[in-house]
Amino acid sequence: MDISGDLSGIRASQIVELKKLSEFQTERDELIHPEILDGLIRLTHLWNREICIYLSRSGVLIAAAVGQHATVTLPPLKGRSQGKHLRCIHTHPNGDPRLSPLDYTALSSLKLESMTAIGVRQGKLTGLQLAYRTSGSAPLLVDLRPNDWREFNYSESLDSLLHDKTAGKKTETKAGKERAFLIALQDGDQEINEDLEELGELALTAGVDVVGQLVQLRRYGQSRSYLGSGKLEELLHRLQETQADVVISDDELSATQLRTLEMETGLKVLDRTGLILDIFAQRARSREGKLQVELAQLQHLLPYLTGQGQALSRLGAGIGSRGPGETKLELDRRRMRERITLLDKELKLVLQHREIQRRQRTKSGLPTVALVGYTNAGKTTFMKNAMLQSGLRTDIPAGENKLFATLDPIVRRIKLNSSLEILLSDTVGFIRKLPTQLLKAFLATLEEVQQADILIHVLDVSHPQAHQQAETVHEVLGQLKCREKPIITLLNKVDKVEDDHEISKLAEQLPYPTALSLKRGDSLKPVWTVLESLLE
């Protein structure tokens, strides 16, 4: 039997003990031979490392691999067809017996017969979870408790699955949504849930369920592990309680912090930038948008690339792995840099094409107006209302109550009155802590803002942090060198605000304020009146 992986610090006698497990042959009706299971539990506890084995269809242990606490490199498969009849069984030293969405990807991509996770805590079995590969998208799951796994008949369960496939029945068990646990560092004068509230909205937009959160004062954070040692221990307990699948940080993590958190928790870890990029990957529709997302993802992933190969706990699946993330994580640095260079060239061509379009629009003599604002403030609804109230048919879908509902820019010709027409463009929303590389990657989109004659800032006045969101928009405009442009502030969603004093307070601090409700369908004439005066 071949043994691969990280064997550093392990005694030769213990490696021999692992090799001797191949002397036991698992019967076809058994999930795993009891002696093999006992040996895996003992060595997992002794080393505090994951151990992965392959069992052939005849029950022979043909390969094993040892990894760190949270990852194990899968033993190589010889021949593409051999995975069809192999069972992959691996241990979890953190005691969690559940398979993650990453394990489902390994099951599918390697075309294994089944994938099993064994929970081990303090040298004891906590449970097992088994997944059979099916012809559909969802695997068939079986949960086994420590006391009843011996009664489970592997062969009968597999035959039942094959019978269901033959009969055309659907298996109802599925992996379900990922469960996210949020973490953040905050300054002492902030309210506790201020940062995590928006991170939770981002997570929901990405399609995951938020099951818990943990906040620590920034002065107690650690450069290596992000959280301090005490909070990190508390995080491990909370993750077990909530059965989370992924940890999401509100700050951008360094490569060291990300690897440390993954090693300590045994879960996939994502930072704020990776989460936003995942949403972008879901929303990009045009070729330009997809190019921009891929470029930003690769630039974000490059510092984290370790070149360790295909690890069981790092296989691409679920949140943070959409778009190029699923196919590019295995690239080495050289190939990734080559791809980044190629994308840069393609986006320069896009910029050139946009410049030609812009020149043509300039020749028309029409003033250009760009909509800017915090994500989910109502920019797309404004564009739609402007077209409808101008008597134009609109092909723009209704704005969703989600962050970053619009990613690709939209430019439309709007007739304000018999003597005035404008070119109105909708752009990607802004957000707090927007990384510099995202601004650079989406320069092709944001050039619509830079080239506009006038900006209309759509602000959600019903949001409890409306003032902070307005400041964020102005900060981003400063980064784009657009702060000096004329800006009309549209105070949107006034129908949701009971206290008019709050609206008046905001209006005093912002340029050319106009209050109305786009959802209610209020007339845009007050906005156009201010716009005309500025153009004159």
pTM of the model: 0.61
Question: What per-residue confidence (pLDDT) applies to 530?
Answer: 94
Is it the case that residue 172 has pLDDT exceeding 50?
A: no
Q: What is the pLDDT of residues 316-374, one digit of tens each?
A: 445 665 555 544 445 467 778 888 889 888 878 877 877 787 777 777 778 999 999 99
Q: How far is Cα 70 from Cα 258, in angstroms, rounded to an integer?
A: 12
From 19-28, 56-65, 428-437, the region with the lowest mean pLDDT: 428-437
Q: What is the pLDDT of residues 281-297, one digit of tens each?
A: 887 777 777 887 888 88
Tokens of 176: 């379900």
Q: How far is Cα 51 from Cα 437, in angstroms, rounded to an integer?
A: 38
**489, β-bridge pairs:** 457, 513
In degrees, rounded to 5, the angle at the alpha carbon of residue 157 between the alpha carbons of residues 154 and 158 is: 85
**226, β-bridge pairs:** 222
Q: How far is Cα 186 from Cα 408, in angstroms, rounded to an integer?
A: 33
Q: How far is Cα 161 from Cα 151, in angstroms, rounded to an integer?
A: 18
The CATH number of 366-535, from 3.40.190.10, 3.40.50.300, 3.40.50.10860, 3.40.50.720, is: 3.40.50.300
The 3-state DSSP class for residue 395 equals: coil
Fold of 179-328: Rossmann fold (3.40.50)
Instruction: Provide the angle, in degrees to the nearest 10, between the axes of the packed helices 287-301 and 333-364.
Output: 140
Question: What per-residue confidence (pLDDT) applies to 116?
Answer: 94
Q: What is the pLDDT of residues 74-132, one digit of tens each?
A: 776 655 445 567 899 999 998 888 887 667 777 877 788 899 999 999 899 999 999 88
Which parts of 72-208 are beta strand (E)?
Answer: 87-92, 114-121, 124-132, 140-144, 179-186
Nearest to 42, CA basis, from 98, 159, 125, 164:
125
Q: Check if the beta carbon of residue 278 is closer than 8 Å to that of residue 72.
A: no
List, by residue range, all CATH 3.40.50.11060 domains of the chain.
Answer: 179-328
The 3-state DSSP class for residue 389 equals: helix
Question: What per-residue confidence (pLDDT) applies to 327?
Answer: 45
pLDDT over 70, % of the chain: 81
Tokens of 424: 């109105």
List, by residue range, all CATH 3.40.50.300 domains of the chain.
Answer: 366-535
Q: Check if the beta carbon of residue 405 is closer than 8 Å to that of residue 351.
A: no
Question: What per-residue confidence (pLDDT) applies to 396?
Answer: 60
Cα distances (Å, whole numbers) of residue 200 to 93, 212, 323 = 29, 10, 22
Give the H or E element holding residue 2. strand 2-5
Nearest to 121, CA basis, from 148, 89, 97, 157:
97
Is it the case that residue 239 has pLDDT exceeding 80?
A: yes
346: exposed, middle or buried (C-beta count within 10 Å: 0-12, 13-18, 19+)?
A: middle
Q: What is the pLDDT of residues 453-471, one digit of tens each?
A: 999 999 999 988 899 899 9
